[in-house]
Structures are given as structure tokens and as C-alpha cells.
Structure 1
């Protein structure tokens, strides 16, 4: 790395989480946190203002999720480096994040040094995957059922995530800057691609593949 500090933006809807890994990262020589955002829309605005060398992005946030935020950032700047740091330990989310343009995927259950190493790898232009997700990706290839992540685009996966969070068609349309008709069409397309006929079957498939958990259902 050069003598100039490499700049980082943190994106997470929990201030205490941002505070924790800001403190950890700024202990590392040559790293400086220059911006923080609590959602994808704010991240997009601050990225254009600060143009950091790396974005560390959560996936589950109010409004647009991390995958859609990654897609938008990469659309605006093809050189953007984005490292996902999330609680989701499911291969489907990792596949979609990398497909959307992420430079790596690390789970929040990983040791602190795993995140630091991933940051350094991402800044060096490498793809950084935490060992637990590497294992999940390997297992996913052994499963008989085609994973939703393999069948859906990043935009379709984001619509699926919002549908599973019980967002209405109008709420999804507003968050993703789409027309309600387009969202309705995507809803039907998602069910067709995944081979389900009803929303109940869609929820069952999401539970089976770990996209949705029983904890998520209890919290809704």
C-alpha cells in the first residue's frame, strides 16, 4: 500500500456496529474511515461525495437493501470496491452480492482479524470470502434444488427480499424507483423462475433455502 491512507465508508443501520468496526479499522496502519451511512440511499449519496477506496456494506437495512445498493454504486462507478459485512450466513446472499459487484463477503460471526484481512484483500483487488461462507458455497453446489441465487438477477433477488419482508407493491416500487406494474410483473416472474405458484410456496422455498428464517417470520 502507498503511504497515503486508504479511505473507507461504513454502511450499517446500527450506529453501535459502525462505531465498533470504525475503532477496529482505524487501529490498522494506513486505513481511515471517511464516511458512515445508515442505509443504501445515504450510502449512494455519500459515496459520490467522498469516493472512498472501499465500502463496507451491510445487507439488511431500511429501504433498499445492500444488494440493491451495491448494484447502484457499481452502476455509477464500475471501479467501486464493496465488501459485504453481514449476519447472513447463506450462500444465496453471497452469490447475489458478488453478482451485483461486491469485492467480498464476510459474516459478522467471523473473528475481527478475518474482516481486517478481507479489507486488505479487497483493497488489493482480490475477492475476499470468509471461511464459513466459502463452506456454504461449496455445500450449495451439492444441493439438489436450484438455488434462488442461481436463478434470479440482483434486482429480482432484492424484490424477493422485500416481498419476504412483507413490503407492499407500492412500497417496493417507491424504494426501487419502479412502477407498481413493473414490481407486479417481477413478482410473477420470480414465482415462475422459482417454480412456485403462490406466495405461501414462495415463503416455503425461502425457508428451505435459508433466505428466510423462522426468526424473520417471528419478527414480522
Structure 2
């Protein structure tokens, strides 16, 4: 990603957007390139703005954030999409991550922390409010099979890639790290998600981080 990340925000609260504009203006590594007040206008704006990262509110009138997220992913929007919302509802968090969100932040976080998490997301890291990490890890546990069982279904290359995803690397960086093409990484990611029964790389990353934590506890 370039030294300055292009940011687009989608939120139907003018006052919150104004505050976020001021917050982003304090960070030289971020550049605001577009604002949308609804899901519908966001879909029209995203092609025009070509952002690196999209900050998306969940509870919007009309087309909500989850529907907007799904529509963007269906339209092959490759920008990193981070939910920025007041909802810490378990089901909302899990639904957004499974629909392809790259992070989930709460509006009541400290402004500096929001900024830090946005910057982390621009570098391929999972941007998630600290108190939601455990919720997500718990929700993503597979009751029918243990983590070791699931990991044993992966090839050594798939396991290697999963560990790099958990470290926050993008497909491009994984390709560079392993000396293979982006397309090959994509194929491996698709296969490992299918084996793990997961729908997104972020879901797999959170699950893998949790596996490592569990192993460390033994």
C-alpha cells in the first residue's frame, strides 16, 4: 500500500462524519478521499474514489452496513473494509467478519485508538476492538472438531499461508514472502478456507491466533 492510504467513510450521522474527518486530518499517513451518507451512495462512490480502506457504519437507514459490505464484496471491491459502529452485539460482529470485513471497531473507543487501528488495517492487520476479540474467538470455535483435527487437514503450504494470514500479511506480501504468485496464494487461501469451513481470511486469522494462544496456554 502507498505511504498515504486513501480513506472513504460511510456513515449516516453528519456529526460523527465531521469528527472522523478531523481525526483523519491529524494523521499524515491517511488521506480522506470520499464521504457517503448511505449504503447506496457508497456503492456509487467507491469506484470513483478508489479507496485503500473503507470505514463503514453498521446501523444505517435504508441499506445497512452489512448489506453494503456484502454488495461491495460481490462487486469485487478490494479495499480493506472496517466496520465502525456502536454495536458490540456478538451476532453483528460475527456476521460482518464472515461477510468479508477486515475489522470491527466501536465508536466509543478512544480517538487515538481508532486512529491506530485504522493505520494497522492499512498494513494488513486485523483491526478489532480489544473487547471483541474474545467474543469473536469464542463464536468461531468449531464444536464438532478440535483445532488440531482441522489443522491436520491442511497441506504444509496451506498451514504456512494460514500462519502468515494470522500474522496480518496480505496475499501480495505472502506471495513475496514465499516466492510464489498472488494467484497461487489465492488458490491456497480458497482451499484452506474450505477445509476449515470458514468464509473469510479474517475469520481464519482470528481462529488461528486463538489456536496459537491455546497452545501457548498448555
- In 1, the alpha carbon distance for the partners of 2:33 and 2:12 equals 17
Partners of 1:107 and 1:133 within 8 A in 2: no
- In 2, the alpha carbon distance for the partners of 1:133 and 1:34 equals 29
- In 2, the alpha carbon distance for the partners of 1:84 and 1:37 equals 14
Q: Report the TM-score, using the length of structure 1 for normalisation.
A: 0.60
2:87 corresponding residue in structure 1 = 88
Aligned positions of 1:131-210 closer than 5 A: 131-138=130-137, 140=139
1:38 corresponding residue in structure 2 = 37
2:58 corresponding residue in structure 1 = 59
Query: The residue matched to 1:126 in structure 2 has which SS?
Result: coil
Cα distance, 1:111 vs structure 2:
1.1
Asked if 1:16 is matched to 2:19, the reply is no
Aligned pair count? 142
- In 1, the alpha carbon distance for the partners of 2:138 and 2:97 equals 17
- In 2, the alpha carbon distance for the partners of 1:66 and 1:22 equals 19
Asked if 1:70 is matched to 2:69, the reply is yes
Moved over 4 A (4+): 138-142
- In 2, the alpha carbon distance for the partners of 1:25 and 1:43 equals 19
1:175 corresponding residue in structure 2 = none
CA deviations 1:35-72 (Å, max 9, x no partner) are 11111001110001111111000001111110110111
Partners of 1:90 and 1:133 within 8 A in 2: no
Cα distance, 1:116 vs structure 2:
1.1
For structure 2, the residue ranges without an aligned partner over 5 or more in a row are: 144-218
Q: Which has the higher contact order (CA 8 A, sep 6+)?
A: 2
Partners of 1:55 and 1:82 within 8 A in 2: yes
Cα distance, 1:121 vs structure 2:
1.7
For structure 1, the residue ranges without an aligned partner over 5 or more in a row are: 145-220
Indicate the RMSD between aligned Cα atoms, in angstroms. 1.9
Asked if 1:120 is matched to 2:119, the reply is yes
- In 1, the alpha carbon distance for the partners of 2:130 and 2:28 equals 25
- In 1, the alpha carbon distance for the partners of 2:2 and 2:70 equals 29
- In 2, the alpha carbon distance for the partners of 1:119 and 1:74 equals 19
Q: Report the TM-score, using the length of structure 2 for normalisation.
A: 0.61
Cα distance, 1:136 vs structure 2:
3.0
Cα distance, 1:139 vs structure 2:
5.7
